[in-house]
């Protein structure tokens, strides 16, 4: 606890470091080498969509921005049962850097247009040869990552999540508070 926290009784707000997304390509190589998980080629940004034309126009602009690339990835927007919107980008599984650039652009655009408070997380899914799935989740408000490994309906592989945490901690900022490792059931790509 620092002096500010001691005097005010409050913690300083952690500013998200969206550039941490650019650490994922290196982490993907480490993950493949250490655990056999490879990128699926998709990634998504989860946010609470605002009502009104300003938000709808901004979301359309973001999609047009991504699709303007000559080798444009596939972009889709879905809603989950919790009321969150998932903007998913699907492209070449070998181009993790391009995927992270697209996810960064989505997050940055939402933030720049004043919709940063609605951002929840970004997700980069991985899979292994046996069909197991793993998501690397970036918590927007914390500026950290955590692994999420669903194994079935409302079940997850905590041992695999701890293994991935220990493997990737030297490469990307990993969330230390396990209570923030939220389950993202039915997330696109998982």
**How far is 111 from 105, CA to CA, in rounded Å?**
10
Per the CB < 8 A criterion, the answer to whether 22 and 100 are in contact is yes
Domain boundary assignment for the chain: 18-180
Q: Which residues of the chain have pLDDT under 70?
A: 1-15
Per the CB < 8 A criterion, the answer to whether 85 and 46 are in contact is yes
- Classify domain 18-180 at the CATH superfamily level: Ribosomal protein S10 (3.30.70.600)
3-55: pLDDT as tens digits: 556 566 666 565 678 889 999 999 999 999 999 999 999 999 999 988 888 88
- Please tell me the predicted confidence (pLDDT) of residue 9: 66
Percent of the chain exceeding pLDDT 70 equals 92
Retrieve residue 145's tokens.
Answer: 């990552």
- Please tell me the predicted confidence (pLDDT) of residue 133: 96
Non-local CB neighbours of 156 within 8 Å, separated by 6+ positions: 148, 149, 150, 183
């Amino acid at each position: 606890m620092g002096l500010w926290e001691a005097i005010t009784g409050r913690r300083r707000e952690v500013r998200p470091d969206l550039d941490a997304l650019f650490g994922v390509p290196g982490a993907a190589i480490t993950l493949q080498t250490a655990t056999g998980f490879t990128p699926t080629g998709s990634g998504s940004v989860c946010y609470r969509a605002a009502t009104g034309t300003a938000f709808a126009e901004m979301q359309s602009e973001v999609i047009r921005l991504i699709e303007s690339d000559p080798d444009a990835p596939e972009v889709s927007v879905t809603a989950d049962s919790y009321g969150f919107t998932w903007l998913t980008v699907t492209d070449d599984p070998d181009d993790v850097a391009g995927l992270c650039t697209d996810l960064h652009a989505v997050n940055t655009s939402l933030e720049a247009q004043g919709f940063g408070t609605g951002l929840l997380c970004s997700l980069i899914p991985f899979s292994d040869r046996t069909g197991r799935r793993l998501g690397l989740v970036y918590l927007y408000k914390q500026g950290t990552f955590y692994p999420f490994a669903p194994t079935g309906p409302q079940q997850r592989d905590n041992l695999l999540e701890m293994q991935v945490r220990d493997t990737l901690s030297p490469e990307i900022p990993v969330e230390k508070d396990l209570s923030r490792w939220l389950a993202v059931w039915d997330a696109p790509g998982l």
